[in-house]
Structure 1
């Protein structure tokens, strides 16, 4: 006998929180605003997540340039993950020099920073995973320096190396200029919209053929909806929670 009732199920929801233990990592989350003295600002992971959301919107409208950026970001995330692991491997070698008679526990902040995440893209979450890896890396570097396994020069070099890996990723996202205004159909017709898009992204060079024909897309690319791709995509609300920047003056040693 067929069921005589109808299920009324709501949307799925999940609560996600990010906990960071170091000022180095929290600075990479918030970024740095432009200084009054002309010092340039730096984008953080929260801003990078917003850019990814805009790129995803463009890719959904069949913009090949947006698809190309998703691919480049996906590849850069994989490279960054390996680069952080390489630093971690060097730390493993250093920590192996600890005498067997000594037992050292993990160093955790007595007051870590915890904030909720509202992200809509898997690639944004992958960026978060990189940040948590860097947060753990910073803790290990500071601990190794504290117990005399690495000197101050090595400590600063490794901290800067890890930070630069994430900043290069964020910088790639900043090169995205927005929805090109053209779809793959426009490129096939080589119309005015396609020509304007090529001028907009001339700094990237020619689109790879497999990206232009849509045969190569990011594993995390959205489904394509070809509705009115001639107009620009409007920005969504910010993905990241708007939080005041934490106090960075405390020594971290």
Structure 2
């Protein structure tokens, strides 16, 4: 068996760490392990395995000396839909004679067409209705049977003593393995349930100590006199001092196991939630946009979701050192910030109109039932687009309030709303013409014809962008394009 080491392949530096892993594996796998010393540290091996074998080898199957592994396959009952189709085809096949009689009995041309004889190889002469129904039933049975067989036998799971093997395929199988030593082993410090278990164990230990060494509970005989124990001995039959030392060592060992097991685990990825509140229909229309299908011949209006998708593609290309993608990110970044500042100024001007009336206090209107839209983007530009929509939403609220109280006319409010919406849509349409071209800064000179073709469609980026000296403040890190 391969020796168990740290994640980076090096032995454990101390014996306490190796023993903690040994005890955790023994507890959760049911096998016996031992910590052994090497030249530069300690490793953990299964007891009874050959310690002279090389430690760099990787097992190719899950079989052990103790017997064959446990083989698991997907259950048939897990494919109710395929079973339903298979039973439907079988029922249609058995019901074909009755259905043929019903179809032949139809009046006029339908019955004559159904009763028309058709010669089938091997089967001979049959009615057209019988041939059609039998063909449909056979197709349903064949397709459902093939899909059911593939669903059941495509995956094969083998639970061995050291690893779980997953085999994919029917003829040419691909084998993947996950060793238990690389899996996360729950400890006493893992989560609230582990904390409660640890506290419960600690409290029970304290109660035992109080009962055993501080005297009997009220109404009960002394512990050291029960079951024939002699005075001065623990309930286990050992001297009190020896029993106390044993339990203290056990508690310390449990804490060491929990601490080192938790320290070796890595924290998971970060996940958060973001929501945007929309209070006006104007902001909702700007955020949704309009597809070509909805427009019925009208041009497409890019909304927030489409903008975020296009910016994600440009982000991926910028990671691969595409100068046109970097130029797009730079232009979008400056356009979003500039238009946000413009909308903020327009909103302040609209709100200032609400404060000019003497002795009248006018609050900006709020929606009785605002909508909340969850935001989940993979790049910062999706969230920046949401900030722009939120700024326009506040501007629209101020304009609609001023129109409602008679401070501006309807035509003036609609003109200003169109102007604010144009500031948002102009940003969303920046990546509309961008497409991934597969060029990098290093290949612009070597592929001059392709670079010229891209430049005719998108224009030449500034020389600072081509050199990489100027990038967007929110540009991604460049990924290495070299391969082994």
Q: Could you say which TM-score interval applies, normalised by the shorter chain?
A: 0.7 to 0.9
Deviation at 1:26, TM superposition (A): 0.8
1:172-195 Cα shifts (integer Å, max 9, x gaps): 12121x2221111112xx223x53
How far did 1:7 drift? 4.3
Alignment RMSD (CA, Å):
2.1
In structure 2, the partner of 1:236 is none
Compute the displacement of 1:115 (Å): 1.8
Structure with the bigger RCO (C-alpha within 8 Å, sep 6+) is: 1
Q: How does 1:56-135 map onto structure 2 within 5 Å? A: 56-99=315-358, 101-135=359-393
2:185 aligned partner: none
Are 2:395 and 1:140 aligned?
Answer: no
Query: Residues of 2 paired with 1:201 and 1:47: CA distance?
Result: 24
Alpha-carbon contact 1:65-1:180 (below 8 Å) kept: no
Name the SS of the counterpart of 1:174 in structure 2: coil
Whether the aligned pair in 2 keeps the contact of 1:181 and 1:197 (CA below 8 Å) is no
Runs (5+) with no aligned partner, structure 2:
1-13, 18-258
Residues 57-97 of structure 1: CA deviation (Å, up to 9, x unaligned): 00000100100100111111122112212312321331221
**Structure 1: any 5+ residue segments left out of the alignment?**
230-253
Output the CA distance in 2 between the equivalents of 1:124 and 1:28. Answer: 14
TM-score by length of 2: 0.44
SS in 2 for 1:184: coil
Report the structure number with the largest CA radius of gyration: 2
Aligned to 1:227: 481
Deviations 1:99-146 (A, max 9, x none): 2x3233332212222121111111221111110010111111000110
Please give the secondary structure, in 2, of the residue aligned with 1:65. Answer: helix
Aligned counterparts of 1:106 and 1:95: Cα–Cα separation in 2: 8
Question: 2:322, 2:441 within 8 Å by CA — same for their partners in 1?
Answer: yes
Instruction: Report how far residue 38 of structure 1 moved.
Output: 1.4
Q: 1:207 aligns with which of 461, 467, 471?
A: 461
User: Structure 1: how far apart are the matches of 2:310 and 2:299?
Assistant: 19
Please report the TM-score for the alignment, with normalisation by the length of structure 1: 0.82
Contact kept in structure 1, 2:289 and 2:301, CA below 8 Å: yes
Q: Deviations over 1:166-213 (max 9, x none)?
A: 11111112121x2221111112xx223x53133123144322111111
User: Are 1:191 and 2:456 counterparts?
Assistant: no
- Using the TM superposition, give the Cα deviation of residue 162 of structure 1 relative to its aligned residue in structure 2, in angstroms: 0.2
The offset of 1:160, in angstroms, is 0.5
- 1:248 is matched with none
Looking at structure 1, the residues matched to 404 and 295 of structure 2 have their Cα atoms a distance apart, in angstroms, of 35
CA distance in 1 between partners of 2:296 and 2:387 (Å) = 33
Aligned residues: 224
Q: Specify which of 398, 416, 424 is matched with residue 166 of structure 1.
A: 424
Which residue in the other structure is 2:45 paired with? none
